C-alpha cells in the first residue's frame, strides 16, 4: 500500500506528522538490516500491516494531551510508534522484554525526534507507573494480559472512554473473552476499506469492573 493511501485515512495530519509517517518504512528497513525485528514478508506490506493497522486504535480514541499510554510487548514499536506520531502531546511508554527490539524503538524515536516516547527494556508486569490506557498487539491471551496490567490504571479518566485496554486481536475471541463481559469489539474493517488484516478487531476493555 502506498503511504498516500494510509495518509488519506487521516486527512487532518500536520506536515510534521505526514513527514514522520512517510519516513517510517525506510527507517525500519535500515534498522531491520542491522537488527531483525520485522519479517521480510511483513516488511513488504509494512504500510498496511504495521502502520495502518496500529492506527486503527486512533479510530476509537483521541488520546488527550498529557495522558499516559503504555504499549505492552511493543516489539519494534507497534502500535506505540505510529500512535506517538498521531498524538504528539501524549506520553507513550513502550515496553518489551527483548533488549534489541527496544534498541530499534529508541533508534526510530530518536531519528524521528519523538520526544513523547520512552522505551523500557523489561517485563510489562514490572512497570510501576499508572496509565490512562494500555495498548498492545499480538502479545498474549487476554486473561494473562489483564493480570499483567490491571493495577496500572489511573482511576480518573480524561477521555470520552473510561481508562482501559485497547488490544489489536484476531481469531475467534469467544473463549478468550468469556470472562470479560464488558469487552467491546471494534472491527477494523469498519474503519478502513481494506480487508487484509489478520488481526481484525480492536478489543476495548474498561479498567473498572462492574
Ligand X SMILES: C[S@@+](CC[C@H](N)C(=O)[O-])C[C@H]1O[C@@H](n2cnc3c(N)ncnc32)[C@H](O)[C@@H]1O
> What distance in Å separates the CA atoms of residue 66 and residue 90, rounded to the nearest whole number?
5
Q: What are the CA-CA distances from residue 10 to residues 4, 14, 125 (Å)?
A: 10, 10, 34
Q: Using the minimum distance from each CB to ligand X, give the nearer residue, 82 or 164.
A: 82
Q: How far is the CB of 6 from ligand X (least distance, A)?
A: 16
Q: What angle do CA 84, 14, 96 make, to 5 degrees?
A: 10
* Cell numbers representing residue 89 in the block: 502531546
Q: Which residues pair with 133 in a beta bridge?
A: 69, 164
Q: How far is the CB of 15 from ligand X (least distance, A)?
A: 27
- Is residue 192 a known part of a binding site? no
Q: Using the minimum distance from each CB to ligand X, give the nearer residue, 75 or 157.
A: 75
Residue 139 binding ligand X, by CB under 6 A: yes
- Is residue 62 a known part of a binding site? no
Q: Which stretch binds ligand X (CB under 6 A): 137-145, 156-164, 169-177, 200-208?
A: 137-145
Residue 101 binding ligand X, by CB under 6 A: yes
* Cell numbers representing residue 125 in the block: 508486569
> What distance in Å separates the CA atoms of residue 80 and residue 55, rounded to the nearest whole number?
9
Q: How far is the CB of 51 from ligand X (least distance, A)?
A: 11
Chain positions 116 to 135 lying near ligand X, rule: CB under 6 A, are 123-125
Residue 36 binding ligand X, by CB under 6 A: no
Q: How far is the CB of 196 from ligand X (least distance, A)?
A: 15
Q: How many CB atoms lie within 10 A of CB 204?
A: 20
> What distance in Å separates the CA atoms of residue 55 and residue 48, rounded to the nearest whole number?
10
Q: How far is the CB of 35 from ligand X (least distance, A)?
A: 12
Q: Using the minimum distance from each CB to ligand X, give the nearer residue, 61 or 157.
A: 61
- Is residue 180 a known part of a binding site? no
- Is residue 125 a known part of a binding site? yes
Q: Which residues pair with 202 in a beta bridge?
A: 168, 186
For 125, phi then psi, to 5°, come to -60, -25
Q: What angle do CA 208, 209, 210 make, to 5 degrees?
A: 125
- Is residue 23 a known part of a binding site? no
Using the rule CB under 6 A, which residue among 98, 111, 159, 180 binds ligand X? 98
Residues that bind ligand X (CB under 6 A): 73-75, 78, 95-98, 101, 123-125, 137-139
Bind-site residues for S-adenosyl-L-methionine: 73, 78, 124-125, 137
Amino acid at each position: 500500500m502506498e503511504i498516500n493511501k494510509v495518509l488519506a485515512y487521516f486527512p487532518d495530519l500536520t506536515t510534521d506528522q505526514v513527514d514522520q509517517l512517510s519516513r517510517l518504512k525506510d527507517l525500519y528497513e535500515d534498522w531491520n538490516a542491522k537488527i531483525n525485528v520485522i519479517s521480510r514478508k511483513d516488511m513488504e506490506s509494512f504500510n498496511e500491516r504495521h502502520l495502518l493497522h496500529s492506527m486503527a486504535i486512533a479510530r476509537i480514541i483521541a488520546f488527550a494531551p498529557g495522558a499516559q499510554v503504555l504499549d505492552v510487548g511493543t516489539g519494534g514499536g507497534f502500535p506505540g510508534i505510529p500512535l506517538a506520531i498521531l498524538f504528539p502531546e501524549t506520553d507513550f511508554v513502550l515496553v518489551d522484554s527483548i533488549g534489541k527490539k527496544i534498541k530499534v524503538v529508541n533508534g526510530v524515536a530518536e531519528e524521528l525526534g519523538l520526544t513523547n516516547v520512552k522505551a523500557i527494556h523489561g517485563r510489562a508486569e514490572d512497570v510501576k507507573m499508572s496509565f490512562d490506557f494500555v495498548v498492545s498487539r499480538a502479545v498474549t491471551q487476554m486473561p494473562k494480559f489483564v493480570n499483567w496490567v490491571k493495577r496500572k490504571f489511573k482511576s480518573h479518566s480524561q477521555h470520552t472512554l473510561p481508562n482501559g485496554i485497547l488490544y489489536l486481536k484476531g481469531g475467534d475471541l469467544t473463549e478468550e473473552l468469556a470472562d470479560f463481559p464488558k469487552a467491546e469489539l471494534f472491527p477494523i474493517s469498519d474503519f478502513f476499506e481494506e480487508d487484509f488484516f489478520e488481526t481484525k478487531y480492536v478489543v476495548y476493555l474498561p479498567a473498572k469492573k462492574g
